[in-house]
Amino acid sequence: MSCKIDNSFYTITKKIKNFWYKKGLLYTIPIDISVGAGTFHPETFFKSLGSKSFSSIYIQPCRRPTDGRYGCNPNRLQHYYQLQVVIKPPPKNIQKIYLESLKIINIFPDTSDIRFIEDNWENPTLGASGIGWEVWIDGMEMTQFTYFQNMGSIECNPITVEITYGIERICMYIQNKKSIYDIIWMQTKKKLITYGQLFHNNEIENSKYNFINSDTKLLFFLFHKYINESKRLLKLEKPLINPAYEYILHATHNFNLLDSKKTLSVTERQDYIFQLRKLSKLVAQKYLQNQEK
Amino acid sequence: MKKTLLVELYTEALPFKQLHNMSLSFVKNIKNELQKNIIKYEIIKWYATPQRIAIKIKNVQLEKKKNKEKKNKYTFQKIIISSIKKIHITKPMLWDKNSLKFSRPVRNILAILGKSILPIKIFNLLSNNITYGHFFLKNKKIKIKNADEYSNILLKKGMVIANYNIRKEFIKNKINQKVKEINGFVQYENNLLDEVTCLTEYPNILVGKFSKKFLKLPHELIFYIVQVFQKSFLIYNNFTNFLTSEFIIVSNINPIDKKKIIEGNKQAIQSRLYDAYFFFKEDQKIKLIEYLKLLKNILFYKKLGNLYDKTIRIQKLIIFMKKELKNDLKNAIRAAILSKCDLITNLVFEFPNMQGIVGKYYAIQNKEKKEVSEAIQEQYYPKSYNSTLPKSKIGCILSICDKIDTIVGLFILNKQPSSNQDPFQLKRFAIGIVRIIIEKKITIDLKYLIQKCVFLYNYRQTNELEEKILKFFFNRIVYLCKKKKININIIKSILLLKLNNILEIYLRIKVLENYAKKVEFKHLLISYKRIGKILKKEKKNSNQFVEINLFNNKYEKNFYINLKIFKINILQLIKKKKYQKAFLQEIIFSKQIEIFFKNVLIKDKNKNVFYNRILILQKTKKYLNYFCKLSVFI
């Protein structure tokens, strides 16, 4: 056995997951559709509506096409991972529990400058907004901590608390790396795999696709097709809510791709967001109506 | 009997932009309540950290008799609860479904009167005599035995400087001390000092350094990244006054090993600067003007063309306004052509707030004229309702043209804002236009300008659209004037004239505001009212012309002559834009009306004589409304 402390990406995420798992959270699997954040997961979107309690933890791969930097920037990626914790209703000492979870991975509040900086999170396409903070550790944003106030343009009550760990940033910090690509993904006696080995090429290729090579006409076409399909599914006599929601996610990703290609002005962009928000609201309403039945 | 009262709300980190105002609001409410209940006290002290707001009322006068203790308690409970509920909060939140909303979750309430707990129930919590130390260093319960010892105990046992102003001074002194050592200075004119005071309970000052090559970036951008994003102070050199690559970190803890904090902050700042620098270099591979054709790839709005089309429209609007621009026309056209070019640069795409600023920088690099580069930045002014206006003439006109083009375009598509929703910020744009026109005294016929815009969109002109947009602008004028506390009737009386020149509308409003409280104005209104009453009864009138031979006294004749002079005078003065003098004509003329009524009885046996007089009054009424609709005041 190696006596070196294992601080690989794998181990760190395992430790955080275990910490929350022991608190009784449901361990869930990520959604298999391109999304911009863990919040888009149906487990978060739907369950934060209505009155039933729930709690989940999952790791969600996220795609933000505009954040691509051709693999050049040390801490910007168009594809990365979020570790998402959602609990409804929130425990009273939730911030202390969060600090405990940091201690598990060797981040201590008396040696690291931890700050809760006001940042009222908002996702206009989901009609979601929350009140909360970015959590900074020595000046670097590493977690988003939010109390949802609205989801699908519907007021939340009870409230859901969402804690989103930016795992790459945390790993950089703990492993003392200056670049994401140098993060150790796994480490055994025989093997050492870095984040760069796994994803660097993907970043280069996808950045090129997002900014240069994507087919704008196709993206516009797909956006409208997905929107229409979602609308159609919601208009059925017995609406298919989950598939309709999934088509919103597809449309949203296409919108993000269009956005990164700079095809939309501020004004036009607003209109696309509005279309997506209207649909999310409709899905949320139908979901709640179904719950009541 | 005198005792000290202490109340503390212990919360999850309060928003740094609101902490100060919330505390002052709390104090104000307490003061009001104490006054209402006729309770004497010595002094109120307030405390605020990210985790708490508190007040201490020293030596409140209590009712002496022993059996009054209950009454004392009850009064203070009421005072505190009411004061907390009334704390002004910009964005209240819910965290517990059975609780009240507040700025952030409230986790504990400390309330003591003298040495004993004052029981209070609010936010689903019952008050106690406990507070907590520094959230990250000493997050343990601290028992407060006596209200007076609060801030001392918090410092000693809790590592918290609870007093906001003391903490702020502490930070400022420490920073000044630190920068002096390195021959630098910081500028405090922005809110950053308040922000870091709101973000720390036990502040500590550290110095970091970013790579010097980033100093080539636009300094507005460095400022934005370091001060706005990262809450760190930029340092300027004492001798040269230039920006240095060093910066001040205000941390909330002070560990033995400070390297990690400095390194972390440096990395956070560097990574943003690195991003910006990469784009800055990339962008400058081509000239700003070459981005023009690329604007064709960005849709401005569906059916309204792309950003290139918008640029061309703006250019044409500039030419349309050449009268206002005079010698500046050539530069204004150049500014218009370049105005949107930076929207396609990487830097603006990544830092949207930098639109205009980046354009200005690249224009300077490309050796465009100063007037041109300034205007590129200023086209986006004012950025909010009451922020700075463009300074240059070109900036003003460019800003108006850009905004009016957007407004008209979206109105054509029926995307006008509703009473509570304004997704495209058209209200803000319109207020911007109105403010520029008023404050910079720009003469524009709004109706013509709108018509020109509509034409440039190749839209089939409809009066209905014009009316809608004009009304939209009129409502903004009402909004702005109301903010200046101008009486709504004054505003209405001018707007009802349906003038198209906003500057004229505003100047007339100002004249009326000046006269509104004067006796002369009241006399004018009395006369006007009297005329109205008479005319109301006598609607029928077949005569079209006043017949001079029907006059049967000199007063009548004189009045008629004066009426004609009055008409000519007021119209001429209005035409010459001498609004003050124009309205003075009405005031002067109102004396003539009084004389007329005193000496002439309107009723007459001879119907023709009678109707002739009615006709004179009708004309009088009409002319009196040339300046404003006086009926609004009646």
Distance CA B206, CA B621 (A): 75
CA angle B421, B425, B426 (to 5 degrees): 95
Which residue of chain A has the CA closest to B16? A118
DSSP letter for each residue of B379-446: TT---STTSPPP-SHHHHHHHHHHHHHHHHHHHHTT----SS--TT-HHHHHHHHHHHHHHTT---BH
pLDDT digits (tens, 9 = 90+) for A4-33: 568 999 999 999 999 999 999 999 999 999
A262–B349 C-beta distance less than 8 A: yes
B residues 406..435 contacting A (CB < 8 A): 406, 410, 423-424
Segment B464-516, tens digit of pLDDT: 999 999 999 999 999 999 999 999 999 999 999 999 999 999 999 999 999 98
Phi first, then psi: give them for residue B59, nearest 5 degrees: 50, 60
Distance CA A243, CA A7 (A): 39
Comparing CA positions, the residue from A176, A197, A207, A173 lying closest to residue A76 is: A207
CB contact under 8 A, B199 and A117: yes
Contacts of B307 in chain A (CB under 8 A): 265
pLDDT of B543 over the 60 cut: no
| CA atoms within 13 A of residue B67's CA, in its CB half-sphere | 0
ipTM above 0.90, yes or no: yes
pLDDT > 90? residue B542: no
- Chains A and B form CB pairs within 8 A to the count of 133
Type of residue at A251: A
Q: Does A113 touch chain B (CB under 8 A)?
A: yes
| A100/B contact by beta carbon, under 8 A | no
Shortest distance, CA B42 to any CA of chain A (angstroms):
35
Distance from CA of B339 to the nearest CA of A (A): 14
Q: Does A89 touch chain B if contact means CB atoms closer than 8 Å? A: yes
The answer to whether A154 and A285 have CB atoms below 8 angstroms apart is yes
The pLDDT tens digits for A125-175 are 999 999 999 999 999 999 999 999 999 999 999 999 999 999 999 999 999
Per the document, the length of chain B is: 634
Report residue B427: phi and psi, to 5°: -65, -40
Residues from chain A contacting residue B298 (CB–CB below 8 Å): 262-265
Asked whether the beta carbons of B397 and B374 are under 8 A apart, the reply is no
Of A118, A147, A149, which is closest to B16 when you measure between CB atoms?
A118
CB contact (8 A) between residue A159 and residue B298: no
B356 shares contact with chain A (CB less than 8 Å)? no
Calculate mean pLDDT across residues B60-78.
Answer: 79
**In this complex, is the C-beta atom of A149 within 8 Å of any C-beta atom belonging to chain B?**
yes
Of A91, A157, A152, give the one whose Cα is nearest residue A283.
A152
User: Given strand B52-61, what is the order of strands in its sheet?
Assistant: B43-49, B52-61, B2-11, B106-113, B116-117
Strand partners of residue B126: B121
How many C-beta neighbours within 10 Å does residue B540 have? 7
What gap in Å lies between CA A113 and CA B265, rounded to an integer?
Answer: 10
Question: In the predicted model, is pLDDT for residue B125 greater than 70?
Answer: yes
Distance, CA of B194 to CA of A230 (rounded, Å): 48
For residue A69, list chain B residues with Cβ-Cβ distance below 8 A: 275, 278
| Residue B476, CB-side half-sphere exposure with 13 Å CA sphere | 22
- How close A242 gets to chain B, by Cα (Å)? 28
pLDDT at A3: 43
H or E stretch at A58: strand A54-63
Residue B130 contacts residue B142 (beta carbons within 8 Å): yes
Mutate to test the interface with B, among A156, A161, A266 (most CBs of B within 10 A): A266
CB proximity under 8 Å: B 127-156 to A: 135-137, 139
Helix (H, G, I), strand (E, B) or coil at B300: coil
Helix (H, G, I), strand (E, B) or coil at B206: strand
Selected residues 199-218 of chain A with any CB under 8 Å from a CB in chain B? none
Distance of CA B93 to the CA centre of its chain: 24
B100 contacts chain A (CB < 8 A): no
State yes or no: pLDDT of B69 exceeds 80.
Answer: no
Cβ burial, residue A225 (10 Å; 0-12/13-18/19+): middle
Confidence of residue B68 (pLDDT cuts 50, 70, 90): confident
Which residues of chain A make contact with B104, given a CB cutoff of 8 A?
A: 131
pLDDT digits (tens, 9 = 90+) for B578-589: 999 999 999 999
Residue B66: per-residue pLDDT:
65
Q: Which residue has the higher pLDDT, B397 or B461?
A: B397
Closest Cβ opposite residue B274 in set A73, A140, A267:
A73
| CA distances, A122 to each of A125, B17, B440 (Å) | 9, 18, 37
B381 within 8 A of B394, measured Cβ to Cβ: no
Least confident of A224-233, B533-542, B613-622: B533-542
Report yes or no: A196 at the B interface, CB cutoff 8 Å. Answer: no
Contacts of B253 in chain A (CB under 8 A): 109-111, 113
State the DSSP string of B127-184. -BSEEE--TTT--SEEE-SSGGGHHHHHHHHH-----HHHHHHHHHHHHHHHHHHTTE
A135/chain B closest Cα distance in angstroms? 11
Residue that has been written with the tokens 């033995």 in this structure = B256
pLDDT digits (tens, 9 = 90+) for B283-306: 999 999 999 999 998 889 888 999
| Residue A148 to residue A155: CA distance in whole angstroms | 9
Contact A109 B253 (CB under 8 A): yes
* Residue in A with minimal Cα distance to B136: A109
Q: In one letter, which amino acid is A167?
A: I
Q: Hey, of B263, B291, B301, B408, which one would you mutate to test binding to chain A, going by the most A CBs within 10 A of its CB?
A: B301
Q: How far apart are CA B216 and CA B55, in angstroms?
A: 48
* B260/B245 Cα distance (integer angstroms): 19
Decide: B159 and B136 in contact? Cβ < 8 Å.
no
Q: Which positions 209-238 of B are in contact with A (Cβ < 8 Å)?
A: 230-232
Q: How far is CA B531 from CA A74, B78, B538, B621, in A?
A: 81, 58, 11, 7
* pLDDT confidence of residue A1: 41
In 10 A of CB A252, how many CB atoms?
Answer: 26
CB of A95 within 8 Å of any CB in chain B?
A: yes
- Pick out chain A residues at pLDDT < 70: 1-5
Closest CB to A110: pick one of B12, B137, B278: B137
Task: Tell me the percentage of chain B whose pLDDT exceeds 70.
Answer: 99
Using the Cβ of A6 and the Cβ atoms of chain B, whether some distance falls under 8 Å is answered with no
B431 close to B385: Cβ distance less than 8 angstroms: yes
Q: Which of B330, B294, B334, B336 is nearest to B311 (CA)?
A: B336
Q: What are the Cα distances from residue B287, in Å, to B291, B296, B366?
A: 7, 17, 7
Helix, coil or strand: residue B249: strand
Q: Do A138 and B265 touch (CB under 8 A)?
A: yes
Instruction: Tell me the residue type at B58.
Output: K
From the CA of B15, how many Å to the nearest CA of chain A? 5
Closest CA to B23 of B13, B34, B14: B14
Q: Does B96 touch chain A (CB under 8 A)?
A: yes
Contact B424/A270, CB-based, under 8 Å? yes
What is the helix (H) or strand (E) element at residue B53, kind and residue range?
A: strand B52-61
For chain A, counts of helices (H) and of strands (E): 8, 11
**Residues B277, B271: Cα–Cα separation, whole Å:** 10
Residue B229 burial by Cβ neighbours in a 10 Å radius (0-12, 13-18, 19+): middle
Query: What pLDDT sits at residue B72?
Result: 79
Whole-number Å distance between alpha carbons of B521 and B405: 41
Q: Do A139 and B105 touch (CB under 8 A)?
A: no
CA dist B476 and B506 (Å) reads 12
pLDDT at B541 over 70: no
3-state secondary structure of B187: coil
| DSSP string across B333-372 | HHHHHHTTGGGGSHHHHH-GGGTTHHHHHHHHHTT--HHH
Q: What six digits make up the tokens of B360? A: 């200005």
Most B-contacting residue of A161, A267, A276 (CB-CB within 10 A), to test interface:
A267
B539 pLDDT higher than 80: no
CA angle A172, A176, A180 (to 5 degrees): 30
Query: pLDDT for B361-392, tens place per residue?
Result: 999 999 999 999 999 999 999 998 889 999 99
Question: What is the model's pLDDT at position B190?
Answer: 80
Contacts of B299 in chain A (CB under 8 A): 263-265, 268
Give the pLDDT confidence of B437-463 residue by residue, as tens digits: 999 999 999 999 999 999 999 988 778
Q: Using an 8 Å CB-CB cutoff, list chain A residues near B99.
A: none
Angstrom distance (rounded) from CA B452 to CA B458? 10
Cβ <8 Å between A140 and B261: no
pLDDT at A2: 44
* Chain B residue whose CA is closest to A74: B271
Q: Cβ contact (<8 Å) for A157 and B97?
A: yes
Average pLDDT (B408-423) is 92
Distance CA B218, CA B358 (A): 7
Q: What CA–CA distance (Å, rounded) separates A126 from A253? A: 12
CB < 8 Å to B344, chain A: 262
Chain-chain contact of A118 with B264 (C-beta, under 8 angstroms):
no
**Contact (CB, 8 A) for A213 and A223:** no
Q: How far are the Cα atoms of A212, B279, B309 from residue B293, in angstroms, in the given order?
A: 17, 20, 10
In angstroms, rounded to a whole number, what is the distance separating the alpha carbons of residues B158 and B132? Answer: 7
| Interface contact B89, partner A, CB < 8 A | no
3-state SS, residue B58: strand
Question: For the CA atoms of chain A, what is the radius of gyration?
Answer: 20
Three-state DSSP at A22 gives helix
Length of chain A as a residue count: 293
Q: Chain B residue with minimal CA distance to A160?
A: B95
In this prediction, residue B211 carries a pLDDT of 96
pTM of the model: 0.84
Kindly report the number of other CB atoms within 10 A of residue B413's CB atom: 14
Q: Which stretch of B92-96, B132-136, B147-151, B262-266 has the lowest confidence by average pLDDT?
A: B147-151
Only one residue has tokens 């990703």, namely A253
Q: Is the CB of residue B338 less than 8 Å from the CB of residue B372?
A: yes
Dist. CA B365–CA B359, nearest whole Å: 10
Beta strands in A167-240 (DSSP E): 184-187, 192-194
Question: Hey, what are B224's tokens?
Answer: 């934005």
Q: Round to whole Å and give the CA distance between A69 and A62.
A: 15
Would the pLDDT of B54 be above 50? yes
